[in-house]
Structure 1
């Protein structure tokens, strides 16, 4: 699994204007079984997407078509994560 840590590159109102398109994109990834969870960071400076992906390259490819990325609103940095405890460990 990979935590995709996003950093917003533009002011929040610009990011929020693209949010419906971002949500539609995330809906497709979730329907395909890639998204385990996602949400905005409390700081409002970015978000986190927990992806089922076999490598950092795959995780980057999955997020490359995010409207936030395509419109220059955000970048994502993959962080590999092996869950060993709790309900997510079974994934």
Structure 2
């Protein structure tokens, strides 16, 4: 599982210009089953996404296609983690630690 942290690198007005395209891209990733949750940080200097994918390389491909990245208004910090414990609703995403 991956925690994706977006940090804005441009004024919020420039971010807002790309917002509709970014939301459409988010919708595509939800539809594909990659994103589980997302939202703005408070204060509004970026966002957070919880994602699943086969490997980090795939997540890097996905984040590189974010309209925010393509427009140069944000950067991603990608953290991979093992979701060994979850609420019952996310039980299908639980992972085992590697041997």
* Aligned equivalent of 2:92: 90
Q: Relative contact order (C-alpha < 8 Å, sep 6+): which is higher? A: 1
Deviation at 1:80, TM superposition (A): 0.9
Deviations, residues 22-53 of structure 1 (Å, cap 9, x unaligned): 00011111111111011111121111111111
Say which SS state the counterpart of residue 39 (structure 2) adopts: strand
Within 5 A, what are the aligned runs for 1:62-73? Answer: 62-73=62-73
Deviation at 1:89, TM superposition (A): 4.0
Q: Establish whether residue 22 from structure 1 lines up as the match of residue 22 from structure 2.
A: yes
* Aligned equivalent of 2:32: 32
**4+ residue runs of structure 1 moved beyond 6 angstroms?**
none
**C-alpha contact (below 8 Å) 1:56/1:79 kept by paired residues:** no
Q: Which runs of 5+ in 2 are unaligned?
A: 94-99
TM-score by length of 1: 0.91
Instruction: Indicate the structure (1 or 2) with the bigger Cα radius of gyration.
Output: 2
Q: Which runs of 5+ in 1 are unaligned?
A: none
What is the CA–CA distance in structure 2 between the aligned matches of 1:41 and 1:81, rounded to whole Å?
20
How many residues are aligned here?
91
What is the CA–CA distance in structure 2 between the aligned matches of 1:73 and 1:55, rounded to whole Å?
25
